[in-house]
C-alpha cells in the first residue's frame, strides 16, 4: 500500500515592526514646571554625539521682551525624555531673543547666536536706535560649546560683524537653526539667517563665517522684500527666516510672511549667501504670519533622493501644523502630512542619527514646547510590504499501520476501485461515497454509511448515465 503524507502550509502576513508608525510626542519645556512665566521660540540641533539640544527663550512674562534668558534642555535617548532646564545665557533685565544654533560638522562645536534688547524696551516701541553704541541698540551675541552642550563660553559680541551700522534698528537671527554648506566652492561655510528692521520694514540677509565662527561677514539684503504701503511708505513681505542648502551648493531662503499674500516667501543665493534673487511667493505653503522651519533631509550626494522638509501651520491661524516634502530643491511641495491638527506655532525640524525626523514646536496656544519624532515612511505614508512569516506544518499522522482505524468500504477481486469522493451530510453521521470502477472505463459506484463511516451499505442503485465514467466523480 502506498503511504501518503499530507501537510498544510499556512502563510501569515504581518506588518514590519515600526513601519510608518505614528509620531511619538514628548513635553520638553513646560513654563510652570521649568520656572518661567512663558517659554517660547524653539531651536533644536543634534550634536555630533547624537544628543538632542533644545533651546528656547525663558521669559518673565508672556511678552517678546520680558527679561528673557536663553534656556536649554538635553536628550540622550532620541527625544523620549529630557533633562532639567539650564540657563545658558542671561543679561540682567535685558531680553535675550531668537536662539539660532548650528553644529560645526568637522569638530562638533555647537554655535548659538542670539540678540539682546535694552532692558524694558520692546522691539515695537520705536525707541530702538541704529548703530553700535549706547544703551538703546540691539546687539548680536555668540556662545559655543565643545562638550555636547554641558558647558558654554562667555558671550562674544559680534554686532559689528553682523549688523549694519546705519538705518537698521531691530535685528533677529532666525530663530531656529543655521546651516553649514557641503557643496561648491563655499563648502564648510557656516551661515545664519537674519532679518533687519526698523520694525515692520524688514529685509532678510545671511551672516556667514569661513573660519568656523571665529570671524563673521554680512551678505546683501535680498531685493523685493518691501512693498508699497501707501502714503509714500513701505512695508515688508518678509520677517523671520530659515534656509537650506540646495544640491549644487546654492542656498534657498524660506521666510515668514509679514505683508502681501498669505504664503511663505523665498529667494535663492548662488554665491554662498552674499547676494540673493528677488523675493517671491511660495504658493503651496500657507502662512498665517508665523515662523516656520526648513531642513535639508536627504542629499543626492549620499546617493539618496533629494528631500527638503518644511514645517508650519497651514491655516488662517496658528493651527493645523503640517510637514511637507520637496523633491525639487524647494520649488514645489507635493507631499504633506498633518503633524498636529490643533494649536501649532513656531517649529524647528532636525534629523536624528538613526534617520528619524524630529520637530520641536509650540503647542496648546504656546503654553508649552513639545518634541515630535516620526519616520520618513510615516511622512510619505508608505505602507508596509506584506512579508510572509516563516511557514509551519500541521502534525502528520500515518494511518498505514493503524489497522483499528481502517474500515473496508468496497473490494472486488481483480478490479481497480479508487479515487473516492465523500460527502458528510448535516446530521454529522451520514456519509455518501462515490468512486469509479476501473480506470476511466467502468461505471460509477455508490455506497452509503449511516454511522460516520464505521459500516457501509452494499452498492446502491445509480442513474443510467452513471454507467460509464471517464473522470473521477465529485459531489458537493
Question: What does the pLDDT look like over 391-408, one tens digit per residue?
Answer: 656 666 676 667 777 888
Indicate whether 1 belongs to any domain.
no
Q: Are residues 359 and 465 in the same domain?
A: no
Q: How many CB atoms lie within 10 A of CB 92?
A: 7
**Range scoring the smallest mean pLDDT among 60-74, 111-125, 148-162, 393-407:** 393-407
Q: Are residues 312 and 264 in the same domain?
A: yes
Indicate whether 7 belongs to any domain.
no
Active site residue 297: no
**Active-site position among 57, 64, 287, 362:** 64
**Active-site position among 208, 346, 361, 446:** 346
- Residue 216 has a pLDDT of 98
- Average of pLDDT values for 238-265? 98
Indicate whether 12 belongs to any domain.
no
Nearest partner of 329 among 282, 368, 259, judged by Cα: 282
Nearest partner of 77 among 316, 352, 305, judged by Cα: 352
Indicate whether 398 belongs to any domain.
no
- Average of pLDDT values for 50-60? 98
- The SS3 assignment for 33 reads helix
Question: Which three cell numbers mark 101?
Answer: 544654533
Binning pLDDT at 50, 70 and 90, where does residue 5 land? very low
Active site residue 446: no
Q: Are residues 274 and 343 in the same domain?
A: yes
Question: What does the pLDDT look like over 323-367, one tens digit per residue?
Answer: 999 999 999 999 999 999 999 999 999 999 999 999 999 999 999
Q: Are residues 369 and 464 in the same domain?
A: no
Active site residue 240: yes
Contact present, 128 and 138 (Cβ < 8 Å): yes
pLDDT at 14 over 50: no
Q: Are residues 30 and 96 in the same domain?
A: yes
Q: Are strands 9-10 and 179-180 parallel, antiparallel or unpaired?
A: unpaired
- Residue 1 has a pLDDT of 37
- Residue 392 has a pLDDT of 59
Where residue 232 sits, what CATH number does that domain have? 2.120.10.10
Taking the model in full, what pTM does it have? 0.78
**Active-site position among 240, 245, 287, 362:** 240
How many domains does the chain contain in total?
Answer: 2
Q: Are residues 377 and 424 in the same domain?
A: no
Indicate whether 53 belongs to any domain.
yes
pLDDT at 414 over 50: yes
- The SS3 assignment for 99 reads strand
Percent of the chain surpassing pLDDT 70: 91
Q: Are residues 171 and 59 in the same domain?
A: yes
Binning pLDDT at 50, 70 and 90, where does residue 16 land? very low
Indicate whether 394 belongs to any domain.
no
pLDDT at 20 over 80: no
Indicate whether 442 belongs to any domain.
yes
pLDDT at 207 over 60: yes
Contact present, 410 and 457 (Cβ < 8 Å): no
Q: Are residues 378 and 438 in the same domain?
A: no
State how far the Cα of 410 lies from the Cα of 446, in Å rounded to an integer: 10
Residue 434 belongs to what domain range? 412-476
Average pLDDT of the chain is 92
Q: Are residues 63 and 190 in the same domain?
A: yes
Q: Are residues 196 and 57 in the same domain?
A: yes
Q: Are residues 372 and 417 in the same domain?
A: no
Q: Are residues 253 and 349 in the same domain?
A: yes
Amino acid at each position: 500500500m502506498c503511504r501518503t503524507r499530507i501537510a498544510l502550509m499556512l502563510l501569515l502576513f504581518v506588518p514590519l515592526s515600526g513601519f510608518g508608525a505614528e509620531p511619538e510626542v514628548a513635553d520638553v519645556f513646560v513654563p510652570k514646571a521649568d520656572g518661567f512665566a512663558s517659554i517660547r521660540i524653539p531651536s533644536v540641533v543634534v550634536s555630533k554625539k547624537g544628543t538632542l539640544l533644545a533651546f528656547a527663550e525663558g521669559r518673565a512674562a508672556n511678552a517678546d521682551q520680558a527679561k528673557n534668558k536663553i534656556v536649554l534642555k538635553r536628550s540622550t535617548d532620541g527625544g523620549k525624555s529630557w533633562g532639567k532646564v539650564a540657563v545658558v545665557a542671561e543679561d540682567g533685565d535685558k531680553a535675550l531673543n531668537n536662539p539660532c544654533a548650528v553644529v560645526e560638522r568637522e569638530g562638533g562645536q555647537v554655535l548659538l547666536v542670539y540678540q539682546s534688547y535694552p532692558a524694558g524696551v520692546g522691539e515695537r516701541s520705536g525707541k530702538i536706535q541704529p548703530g553700535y553704541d549706547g544703551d538703546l541698540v540691539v546687539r548680536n551675541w555668540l556662545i559655543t560649546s565643545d562638550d555636547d552642550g554641558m558647558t558654554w563660553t562667555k558671550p562674544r559680541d559680534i554686532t559689528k560683524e553682523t549688523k549694519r551700522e546705519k538705518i537698521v534698528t531691530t535685528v533677529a537671527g532666525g530663530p531656529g537653526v543655521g546651516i553649514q554648506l557641503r557643496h561648491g566652492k563655499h563648502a564648510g561655510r557656516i551661515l545664519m539667517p537674519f532679518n533687519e528692521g526698523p520694525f515692520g520694514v524688514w529685509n532678510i540677509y545671511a551672516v556667514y563665517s569661513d573660519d568656523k565662527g571665529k570671524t563673521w561677514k554680512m551678505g546683501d539684503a535680498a531685493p523685493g522684500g518691501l512693498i508699497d504701503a501707501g502714503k509714500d511708505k513701505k512695508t515688508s513681505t518678509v520677517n523671520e527666516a530659515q534656509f537650506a542648502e540646495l544640491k549644487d551648493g546654492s542656498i534657498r531662503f524660506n521666510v515668514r510672511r509679514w505683508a502681501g499674500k498669505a504664503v511663505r516667501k523665498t529667494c535663492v543665493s548662488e554665491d554662498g549667501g552674499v547676494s540673493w534673487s528677488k523675493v517671491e511667493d511660495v504658493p503651496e505653503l500657507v502662512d498665517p504670519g508665523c515662523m516656520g522651519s526648513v531642513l535639508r533631509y536627504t542629499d543626492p550626494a549620499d546617493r539618496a533622493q533629494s528631500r527638503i522638509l518644511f514645517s508650519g501651520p497651514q491655516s488662517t491661524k496658528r493651527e493645523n501644523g503640517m510637514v511637507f516634502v520637496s523633491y525639487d530643491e524647494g520649488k514645489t511641495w507635493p507631499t504633506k502630512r498633518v503633524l498636529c491638527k490643533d494649536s501649532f506655532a513656531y517649529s524647528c525640524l532636525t534629523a536624528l542619527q538613526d534617520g528619524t525626523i524630529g520637530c520641536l514646536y509650540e503647542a496648546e496656544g504656546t503654553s508649552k514646547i513639545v518634541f515630535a519624532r516620526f519616520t520618513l515612511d510615516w511622512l510619505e505614508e508608505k505602507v508596509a510590504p506584506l512579508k510572509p512569516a516563516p511557514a509551519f506544518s500541521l502534525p502528520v499522522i500515518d494511518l498505514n499501520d493503524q489497522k483499528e482505524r481502517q474500515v473496508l468500504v468496497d473490494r472486488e477481486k481483480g478490479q481497480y476501485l479508487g479515487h473516492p469522493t465523500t460527502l458528510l451530510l448535516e446530521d454529522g453521521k451520514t456519509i455518501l461515497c462515490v468512486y469509479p470502477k476501473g480506470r476511466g472505463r467502468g461505471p460509477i459506484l455508490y455506497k452509503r454509511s449511516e454511522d460516520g463511516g464505521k459500516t457501509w451499505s452494499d452498492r446502491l442503485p445509480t442513474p443510467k448515465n452513471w454507467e460509464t465514467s471517464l473522470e473521477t466523480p465529485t459531489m458537493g
